[in-house]
Structure 1
Amino acid sequence: MEAAAGLLRGPRAVRLRQRRSVLYSQPRGAAGQRAAGAAAGPAPLLALSLALRALNCFLVQTSFVPDEYWQSLEVAHRMVFHYGYLTWEWAHGLRGYSYPLIFASIYKALQLLAKDDVQLLIWVPRLAQAVLAAFADVKLYSLVQHLENAETAKCVYFCQLCSWFTWYSCTRTLTNTMETLLTIFALSYYPIKGSKMGSSCKYLALIALAVVVRPTAVIPWIPLFFSHFLQEQRKTDLMLHHCIPIGLVTVGTSLIIDRVFFGEWVLVQLNFLKFNVLQNLGTFYGSHPWHWYFTQGLPVILGTHLPFFIHGCVLAPKRYRIFLVAVIWTVLVYSMLSHKEFRFIYPVLPFCMVFCGYSLKHLKAWKKSAASFLLISNLLPALYTGLIHQRGSLDVMSHIQQLCSNSHQSQAFVFIMMPCHSTPFYSHVHCPLKMRFLECPPDLMGNESYTDEADLFYSDPLGWLNKEFYNDTLLPSHLIFFNVLEQEISSFLASRGFEKTATVFHTHLPQGRVGSHIYVYRRKT
């Protein structure tokens, strides 16, 4: 906290404060405090954020969920290099190309510069996310600075940097990450009472962009927009001169981008909402009880910030109630869907940080102790989840990358026998190696007896392998699977001449089909 405060004080700020002390002898109110805070520009804070988020990026070396790669980097790789794999969502128009186009642009630039090395393809997109995350941190600080004062803004900024889940997620190439960052940017222009930074055009444009990236981004903004509409005196102008034009331009641009890459007109936002909300087919990937977000989801992503969040909700002025309404509303809406994940409610975390910072600021004598508690208690989960838990999915890709430089690349055939989409694919290999994995597309036809390939495999792994590879000429050159599968298929491995060449740590918490280690087997030549 003290270090961050020091960065905000420079010679110019000191001179400005001295001039003000000469010109104005009366005590400062809230407005005076805001002006004093504004004197320390955001440049030092941005430099700090950029450095921390760059470090953040390189200290997150684990996998989170498949969408981190399969709905962004894998699509971008295919767009630029013309080989790769698209999941079933792209065949049915549930995802749009607007978000992958960002990473495709990065890949294309690297290709034109002849710098399309696989490590750069992996890390440059993540560094781009880290830069956006740093700007979002500063935007959140600036918002609270204008609403309250520099001291409260520093507390909110500190809480944002301390959040273990933000550390874990903000540099990942997930649509949920971009949705959250755009939510912070939009929030900084939202016309809340007491703020002079409000801009209907800017915040609506940013919301529209977030909806293009992920249609569910509209959920937290429904109560916020409704509140804005009620207090807006020129309601007709708001709708005719802002909402409708911005909506038409955004949707139109999204339609054109998707028309180019799909080859036909596709309204992906409608298809996405139809699949996940109206048909609720997301249950194919698991379901949870209705209260899961309240009893597990929100408490886990808040972590030790939870008591500060509750305390801040009690203390915060009435004008911040709309932020709390947005949090509760979002959690309630997502609670109505059977399929639940921690990342789905990530966009409400910045709202929560405002209340956490407000709580920290008002602890007074306990502030330093509370700040130390937040820092230490979040450090362990941030480092553990970022450096250790579920790292095998990425580490094993280095073993596949080695096959690209092998003179026998054309003869290599890698079969990943793990729960579908457990690892990245061509975006982390970057050579046209023959690869295959167990697929698990949902049944969109409503067939009750439908079973995907992954479930068929795990119901009888040995029988499935003997049936699938009935001829030795069909055998893969390399098999990759979790250690929990080894004993069950040991007879197949021995009879077909496979030998273990690598053991890769994955997690201390194996569960079900996911083991603690990943094994790499190679067929003897």
Structure 2
Amino acid sequence: MRLNVPLLPLLFQYRLQVALSTKTYFQPDEFWQALEPAHRLVYGYGYLTWEWKDGLRSIAHPMVFSAVYWVSELLGLGDAGLIYGPKVLQALFAAIADYSLYKFASKCYGDEISRLTLMCSVTSAFNFFVSIRTFSNSLEMTLLICALNYWPLDKTAGQVNMLNYSIALVLGAVACVLRPTNALIWFYLGAALVIRVRSFKIVAVAGAVGTIILTLNALVDMWYYKHLTFPLYNFLKFNIVESLSSFYGVNRQLYYIVEALPQLLTVYLPFFFHGIYMSRSSTLAQASVFVVFVYSLISHKEVRFIFPLLPIFHLFAAISLHRLRILARPKLKWTFLVLLSLMNCPLALYASTTHQRGVMDVTSYIRTTPSIDSVGFLMPCHSTPWMSHMHRPDINAWFLTCEPPRGLSRSELATYRDEADQFYDDPALFLRTHFPPLRANDTQLTKFRYDWPSHLVVFGVLEEFLVSYAGDEYAECQRFFNSHFHEDPRRRGDVVVFCKHSN
């Protein structure tokens, strides 16, 4: 029996409620690589990270959200459109991913597995937490599962529906524009299809579609950068040739197996492993293993890099659940499924409403407090959103930067410390070096990188130091709970705002 409800609107309502109730911070790229460039594109001010200065990013993804800002301005929605507009659009993308996953599972495996797959998707703690965030990975996930609905998978032999195939190629090519590494799964699926069908035509169509999408993207990026720029080439050069992505962290070889997959799947992890083993002869299972394997060879690893594969992982978990004998007993079936699903709720709700919410609250405070005329963030770089949430062209705002080492010798690379690192190595020395004396007169304010602002923002771990260093000039004026714990010791404690006494 099929679900007899208007499924897509229902899923959109669910994801929208999640998006609007999410008050926490996860990772910087949600803002700094999506909303901040979009905000600058529309409003003309803000901060662009080094990736945009060096042309490593395509403007294609931020343009999606710049359209939201333009519409918001057209309708006069003000701060509501600025803050909630991108959330509404991303909730729609997340709902489309859920719906496409259900349709894909139904087409490939039937109604029972499709319902179980949808259950895994909508009750997934990680999906709850991340799918409604404005990462390029989130839209990449939506495009991937939409494309798979049109892709000729294992049952295809001989004739390929070229219209569906072309639609899948377009969606897949756009996903690759957003995240070049999405090409890994399409490389495997495409190679398997060519081997199975043995048709030059499908290779030619793939080449034509890829050329068209890449050309259109190049034109868009040329318009944005004002000169011919190839972000894909620059991205691969930085991450693969120069191998500088390791500057942002190096993880062990088995990171995706022992850390990322448990985070992604939580209670569904054992069912995923069982399901992918059961499906080991399928091209989709093999492609998933291939992608995770290749990602494991790269030094810098993040859980969200394989997040676009989560719908596929949920499908394999559902295949396993379908085979459980307990589900054949009606009295036990729903009890088991409900309990399994509810196990995700505490983690999902805590991560979305509590953990790291202070760094979001402080930007709202700055946006809505007219008396703030300057603000500095003595925090690890990109600890908060920026003008996409503060939206204050009238204030002088700064933060500690963390530019990667470019053009340095090997000996220089070994000792390189970015600005945020230098501050945390010796906060007092950094302030003496880069700030004027606290009681300096106007003639002494010309040779320093920073001025003392009207408001300073720090994590609680630095509160005692700042009181001892600048307590005569600054006093606490606001405090926001941020987290009960944090893996980064520099980010522990509340978010504390210090105001200059004259303010």
- Tell me, yes or no, whether TM beats 0.5: yes
Confirm or deny that 1:524 pairs with 2:501: yes
1:414 aligns with: 375
Cα distance in 2 for partners of 1:370, 1:205 equals 40
1:485 aligns with: 462
Q: 2:481 aligns with which of 488, 493, 505?
A: 505
Q: 1:152 to 1:197 in 2, by over 3 A?
A: farther
1:318-333 alignment runs, 5 A limit: 318=281, 321-333=282-294
2:306 aligns with: 345
Confirm or deny that 1:236 pairs with 2:197: no
1:203 aligns with: 168
Cα distance in 2 for partners of 1:56, 1:489 equals 37
Report the alpha carbon displacement of residue 523 of structure 1 after superposing the two structures with TM: 0.2
Structure 1 length as normaliser, TM-score? Answer: 0.87
Report the alpha carbon displacement of residue 310 of structure 1 after superposing the two structures with TM: 2.2
Q: 1:144 aligns with which of 105, 108, 118?
A: 105
For each residue in 1:454-489, what CA deviation from the matched residue of structure 2 results, as whole angstroms up to 9, or x when unmatched?
111111112221332214453210000101112223
State which drifts further: 509-518 or 379-388.
Answer: 509-518
2:3 aligns with: 8
Confirm or deny that 1:181 pairs with 2:176: no
Cα distance in 1 for partners of 2:280, 2:337 equals 22
2:361 aligns with: 395
Q: Which amino acid in 1 is paired with 2:19? A: C
1:307 aligns with: 270
Report the alpha carbon displacement of residue 317 of structure 1 after superposing the two structures with TM: 8.0
For each residue in 1:345-386, what CA deviation from the matched residue of structure 2 results, as whole angstroms up to 9, or x when unmatched?
101211111111112223222532431232111111111111
SS at match of 1:220: helix
Q: Which amino acid in 1 is paired with 2:106? A: Q
Confirm or deny that 1:58 pairs with 2:15: no
Cα distance in 2 for partners of 1:64, 1:341 equals 12
2:445 aligns with: none
Report the alpha carbon displacement of residue 149 of structure 1 after superposing the two structures with TM: 1.6
SS at match of 1:219: helix
Contact 2:56 2:234 in 1 (8 A): yes
For each residue in 1:63-114, what CA deviation from the matched residue of structure 2 results, as whole angstroms up to 9, or x when unmatched?
1100000001000010011111100001111111111111111111111222
2:237 aligns with: 274
Q: Which runs of 5+ in 2 are unaligned?
A: 443-450
Confirm or deny that 1:515 pairs with 2:492: yes
Structure 2 length as normaliser, TM-score? Answer: 0.91
Q: Which runs of 5+ in 1 are unaligned?
A: 10-42
Cα distance in 1 for partners of 2:83, 2:106 equals 36
Aligned length, in residue pairs:
476
Contact 1:94 1:269 in 2 (8 A): yes
Q: Which amino acid in 2 is paired with 1:512? A: P
State which drifts further: 243-252 or 66-75.
Answer: 243-252
Cα distance in 1 for partners of 2:478, 2:188 equals 53
2:183 aligns with: 218
Cα distance in 1 for partners of 2:108, 2:260 equals 29
Cα distance in 1 for partners of 2:173, 2:288 equals 19
State which drifts further: 435-444 or 214-223.
Answer: 214-223
Contact 2:260 2:302 in 1 (8 A): yes
SS at match of 1:436: strand
Q: 1:357 to 1:259 in 2, by over 3 A?
A: same
1:411-450 alignment runs, 5 A limit: 412-432=373-393, 433-446=395-408, 447-448=412-413, 449-450=415-416
Confirm or deny that 1:76 pairs with 2:53: no
Cα distance in 2 for partners of 1:444, 1:298 equals 33
Cα distance in 1 for partners of 2:155, 2:202 equals 20
Cα distance in 1 for partners of 2:66, 2:349 equals 30
State which drifts further: 502-511 or 413-422.
Answer: 502-511
1:358 aligns with: 319
Cα distance in 2 for partners of 1:368, 1:95 equals 46
SS at match of 2:417: coil
SS at match of 2:6: helix
Report the alpha carbon displacement of residue 197 of structure 1 after superposing the two structures with TM: 8.2
Identity over aligned residues, as a percent? Answer: 35
Cα distance in 2 for partners of 1:437, 1:206 equals 38
For each residue in 1:200-222, what CA deviation from the matched residue of structure 2 results, as whole angstroms up to 9, or x when unmatched?
10111111000111111112222
Q: 1:249 aligns with which of 203, 212, 230?
A: 212
Q: 1:179 to 1:85 in 2, by over 3 A?
A: same
Confirm or deny that 1:258 pairs with 2:221: yes
Cα distance in 2 for partners of 1:201, 1:415 equals 50
Confirm or deny that 1:374 pairs with 2:340: yes
Report the alpha carbon displacement of residue 503 of structure 1 after superposing the two structures with TM: 1.1
Q: Which amino acid in 1 is paired with 2:210? A: G
State which drifts further: 145-154 or 61-70.
Answer: 145-154
Q: 2:29 aligns with which of 67, 79, 96?
A: 67
Cα distance in 2 for partners of 1:372, 1:236 equals 49
Report the alpha carbon displacement of residue 341 of structure 1 after superposing the two structures with TM: 1.1
Cα distance in 1 for partners of 2:80, 2:245 equals 33
Q: 1:468 aligns with which of 434, 454, 472?
A: 434
Cα distance in 2 for partners of 1:247, 1:314 equals 33
SS at match of 2:479: strand
Q: 1:227 aligns with which of 176, 181, 192?
A: 192
Q: Which amino acid in 1 is paired with 2:87? A: R
SS at match of 1:487: helix
Cα distance in 2 for partners of 1:208, 1:282 equals 24
Cα distance in 1 for partners of 2:277, 2:404 equals 44
Report the alpha carbon displacement of residue 193 of structure 1 after superposing the two structures with TM: 3.2
1:98-113 alignment runs, 5 A limit: 98-113=60-75
Q: Which amino acid in 2 is paired with 1:118? A: D
Q: 1:285 to 1:190 in 2, by over 3 A?
A: same
For each residue in 1:175-224, what CA deviation from the matched residue of structure 2 results, as whole angstroms up to 9, or x when unmatched?
11111111111111111134798821011111100011111111222221
For each residue in 1:228-285, what CA deviation from the matched residue of structure 2 results, as whole angstroms up to 9, or x when unmatched?
111224x221122x21221111111111111111111110011111212232211111
Report the alpha carbon displacement of residue 491 of structure 1 after superposing the two structures with TM: 2.5
SS at match of 2:61: helix
Q: 1:454 aligns with which of 395, 407, 420?
A: 420
SS at match of 2:490: coil
Q: Which amino acid in 2 is paired with 1:382? A: A
Contact 2:60 2:178 in 1 (8 A): yes
SS at match of 2:250: coil
Q: Which amino acid in 2 is paired with 1:226? A: A
C-alpha RMSD of matched pairs (Å): 1.8
Cα distance in 2 for partners of 1:252, 1:507 equals 45
Contact 1:413 1:435 in 2 (8 A): yes
